[in-house]
Structure formats: C-alpha cells, structure tokens
A and B are shown apart, each in its own frame.
Chain A
Amino acid sequence: MDQIVLLDRTERYLRGEMTPEERFAFEELRKEKQEVDQFVVEHHLFAANLETYAEMERFKANLYDVHHTLKETGELAEVKPAETGRLVAFWSKYRRTIAVAASIAGITALLTSTVTLIFSPKTPIRDIEELRRKVNTLEVRTNTQDRQIKAVNQKIDPNAAVTFGGTSFLIDPKGYLVTSAHVVDNARQVFVQNKDGQDLKTELVYIDKDRDLAVLKIKDQDFIAPTSLPYGFRKAVSDLAEPVFTLGYPKDEIVYGEGYLSALTGLKGDTLASQIAISANPGNSGGPVINRNGEIIGILNARQTQAVGVVFAITSRQLIRSIEEHKEKDSSLNIKLPTRSTIRGIDRIQQVKKIDDYIYMVKVIG
C-alpha cells in the first residue's frame, strides 16, 4: 500500500474518524499484514507523544501570554527585595578583607608546596622494590590462571562441537534457569557460561515445547548460588508501548538492547507471546525482556524474524503457568519465582549492573 495512504488511514483510524465499514476493513488488514499492524502500533505511540507535547506547548503559550498581559496592565508589580541577600551584604562589607586574606593564603600555599618539593627525599629504590613485588604477584596470578584453564579444559571435552545456542537466566537462586526450548532441543549436554567466561554444567529439568520454554538446573561445584535475584516476574498483562530492554548473548559477550512492546499478541494473534520492537538475533533467544521497574515481562524468542527489528517474546505469565503445570506432575520440583523487583527506580546502568551476573550464555554440545 502507498505509504501516504497508509498514514492517512492510520491517522483517521486512531482518531476514530472512520465509518464502521472502513474500520472493519482496516482491522482485517491489520490482522492480515504484520507490517500494517506494526505501523499502526508505532504510530499510536508516536501520535500520543506528539499530542501530549502539543498540549504542553499550548499550555506554556497561555502561561506566557497571561504573564505578559498582567505585566502590561500593571497587575504584576515588581517587588523590591526586602533586604539585600545576606550573602551579598556580607560580600560588599568585607570585600577588601577577603581579598587580602585570599592573597595571603595563596602565597602561603605556593611557598609550602615549593619547600615540600625541594626537601622531599627521592626514593627510586623503594619504587623498584614495589615493582618487583608487583611482578611476583603477577607471576603467582598467571600460575593460578594456568591451573584454572587446565581445569576448564578437563571439564569440556575439547573435541565436542560447541554451538553458541542462545541465552538463559536464573529464575530461582538455587540454580534454576530458563531458556527457549528450541535452543536446547536434542542437546547431548548443555553448559552455561556467565559473563566472566566461567562454564557451568547443567541438567535439563523439563522441556515445554508448546510454549517453547526449557528449564535447566546448574549442577556444578563451581556454582555459587546467590541469596536472591534482583528482578521479579510480572504477572499482570504489560502495557502497549512500554519501553523494555534485554540482555543476551547474540555473540561471545553480553549485549544490551532496548526497544518497546509493540503488540500484546505475537505472530498471527498468538496469545502466548507479545511482539517487541527491538534489534535481536537468534542468539538472544531465551533472554529476559525487562521493563523499567526491573520486572521480567517475557522470554525473548528470536527464532522467527519476519520483519527487521520485530521479535516475539513468550510472556512471563506463560512461564509461571508452565512451571505450575510441571509442579503438579513432579512434586519434587522446587522452583519459586521471585515476584518482587529490588531494582525499581534506579537508573538503567545500575539496573544492568545488578542483573548481568544472572544472565548466561547457553552452549550446546550436540
């Protein structure tokens, strides 16, 4: 469709200016064509922002007008300061004294630093000793690292074919992780790697193919279980156009991405999923979708990408339901999802710093 026509129709649709027949036809078109739906959702968000901005500008213009009218009619007379500000008074009274005091202080400071410079002993020997100590520490550290590398090599079979499957994150401090089912499907062994590059062995707890979710558990002596998780899981439905961010491993290091919720349902009206406008690629699959309050609203599912910058996420409600269903089947399953976020109201950089320890790269050995 011609873009100008699409814009025109979208604007009329959002303003409620369409006839019922037109409206019905347009809604059918939205269901049929994902790019039209995406355009409408985006335009809705944009238009709402533009309208609030416009209202604010109109209000400010009125404030400005009123101020000037009242000033001209003399109804806003200027008030003279009742007394000069105390600071100003102090300054004019003691200006000269302060100037003299300041110059004396300046000269003294200069003198002191010169004297210190001339008379302070030079200490090259101490510097060298310091350097030697540092080199020794470095050597010790290198040896330790060598040992650790060996240990890691023993753990992972070097001949095994490792594929960087996707992303996963902790859902329970005891070591339970969630990822996308398609990431770990048919895997012989799954390792997860934290942001420091440490590999940890995991076991598959269960796989829920209908929802494309898989739960893993870290079974590795090197795993240090945290006492709690900083984020919570959102139970309620999320808001359209809510800004979200994600952390994941589309490559060999953790990558941050931002976007917003662009539709409440996924592909072809799939109610398990939400649509998100964010740049992601298959390695992001299984990563968390987090809102500004630090609540997880979904699990990214970047398997099918239809349009650039549009991906889907399995909603956190589906994860909650999936776990409940499996608890009924297997009473030994002891997972408790955190519901409260402790990173609400802090800035994004701090939020990411508190979260990224709990996001892992999934390495699949097939």
Chain B
Amino acid sequence: MGNYSKDEELLDGLISNDKLAIETIYKDNYRLIQQLVVQNNGSEDDARDIFQEALIVLYQKVRSGEFSLQCQLRTYIYSVCRRMWLKRLQQKRIYDTPVDPHSEQVPVEEDLELHDQLDRQYGVMRSALGKIGEPCKSLLEAFYIHNKNMQEISSYFGYTNADNAKNQKYKCLMRLKKLFFTQYKNGN
C-alpha cells in the first residue's frame, strides 16, 4: 500500500518519464490489474494493454496540470482500468457482472474523455507520419523523437555530410507539415 506522499513523488517521476518511477508503479499495481482483466474474460495481453493505457491516461492528466490525487494511486489506476475494460467488454457484447478484486473506486469519466480527445490529436500526427514513408519517417523520428543531432543522423543514414542530411530533413519536414495540415483542417 502506498501512502500519499510516495504517490505524489511517483507522479512527479511519471511525468518526467523516469523509468524507475514507472517500474515502481508497475510493481505496485500490475498484479491487481492483471487479476481484474483475467478474471473478467480477458487475457494476459489485454491486461498489459489496459494497464499501459491507464498509465497514459494518468500521464496525460498530470501533464494537463489539472490533477491532484484525491485517493490512493492504486485506487485511481484501478478505477481507470476497470472503466476501460468494462467498455471493451461491452463492445464485445459481454455483459457479465464484473468480479472486483479491489473494492474502492473513484469516478474517472472526465479523465477518459480528455484521453480520447488527446488521442485524436496525436492521431493526426501519427497518421501524417505513417503516410510520408521511408527514409523520411525514420529521419524525422531520429531528429524529433530520439533527439539525435545532425552529425549522428548523417552517419547513421549514410549522408555524406550534415548539410545533405539537413536538406533531406527539410524536404521531409515540409511533406509532413503538408500532410499534417491537410488533416488538421479537415475535422480536428
């Protein structure tokens, strides 16, 4: 059982993407969520997906700056997982009364709405990146996601010098921008 101050620390670690914090949250809570999913018509893989998505919900909520923990972190994670898993069961048209391995719950409907909304926003960028093709995708990911510098990129992708890599990056970025804005304007 975690106490509140430990939970707050974990949340700080979570939003700075600290592996140790993620590991601790995993060790403290994964088993419970596994029980929840597996005892209610789910598989191991379902449990992993639901748990990771719940941590994303938590991450987004804390990032949005509107989060203050009103209950134990364990109860919050459990409530998010439970709500998401029941939704998924409904989609599969399974309406059994759920077996609850944890008794406390808090309302999380609004947080899940925020999550859906943010996911739609990421979806625009994800689908734009999915459409530009290689080597553009890897090149831009190396620069913008993995924070590699131009020197590293040019040696990795086999460009003769950093200027060539820069030129290529420019072309790729312009294509990505075009794809992104086409989608952004049509139905955000």
Contacts and interface: CB of A to CB of B under 8 A. Distances in A.
Interface in B13-61: 17, 19, 22-23, 26-27, 30-31, 34-35, 38-41, 44, 48, 52, 55-56, 59
B181 A42 contact: yes
Given A7-B173, A57-B145, A87-B96, A67 B185 contact: no
Given A67-B52, A81-B38, A58 B170 contact: no
Given A4-B167, A82-B39, A260-B184, A59 B17 contact: yes
Contacts of B122: 52-53, 56
11 contacts: A3-B170, A49-B125, A53-B125, A57-B141, A62-B22, A65-B19, A66-B19, A70-B27, A75-B27, A87-B41, A258-B188
B144 interface: yes
A66 B22 contact: yes
B68 to A, nearest CB: 21
B131 interface: no
Contacts of A3: 170, 174
A67 B52 CA distance: 9
Contact of A53 (B27, B126, B166): B126
B23 A85 contact: no
B128 to A, nearest CB: 9
A57 B55 CA distance: 13
A318 B179 CA distance: 35
Given A63-B55, A87-B41, A54 B144 contact: yes
Given A56-B122, A76-B26, 17 more contacts: A46-B177, A46-B181, A49-B124, A49-B180, A51-B144, A53-B126, A55-B17, A59-B59, A65-B19, A66-B22, A79-B38, A83-B39, A85-B96, A88-B41, A258-B185, A260-B184, A260-B185
Interface in B163-188: 166-167, 170, 173-174, 177, 180-181, 184-188
Contacts of B184: 243, 260
Contacts of A83: 39
A241 to B, nearest CB: 9
A87 B170 contact: no
B121 interface: yes
A196 interface: no
A78 B145 contact: no
B71 interface: no
Given A59-B56, A70-B23, A85-B96, A79 B41 contact: no
A50 interface: yes
A259 interface: yes
A58 B41 contact: no
B180 to A, nearest CB: 6
B114 interface: no
Interface residues of B, number: 45
A56 B123 CA distance: 11
Q: Is the interface of A mostly helix, strand, loop or mixed?
A: helix
B27 A50 contact: no
Nearest to A56: B122
A146 B177 CA distance: 53
B94 interface: yes
A90 to B, nearest CB: 10
Interface in A309-328: none
A348 interface: yes
Given A46-B177, A50-B144, A81-B38, A258 B187 contact: yes
Contacts of A62: 17, 19, 22
Contacts of A76: 26, 30-31, 34
A290 to B, nearest CB: 13
Contacts of A259: 185
A49 B121 contact: yes
A55 B39 CA distance: 33
A60 interface: yes
A49 B22 CA distance: 24
A86 interface: yes
B185 A79 contact: no
A50 B126 CA distance: 9
A86 B96 contact: yes
A48 to B, nearest CB: 10
Interface in A148-175: none
Nearest to B22: A66
A149 B36 CA distance: 68
B110 to A, nearest CB: 12
B39 A81 contact: yes
Contact of A7 (B59, B94, B124, B170): B170
A66 B26 contact: yes
Nearest to B27: A75
A66 B13 CA distance: 14
A185 B173 CA distance: 46
Nearest to A278: B185
A173 B34 CA distance: 56
A51 B180 CA distance: 14
Nearest to B55: A63
Contact of B26 (A42, A67, A78): A67
A75 B23 CA distance: 10
Contacts of A53: 122, 125-126, 129, 145
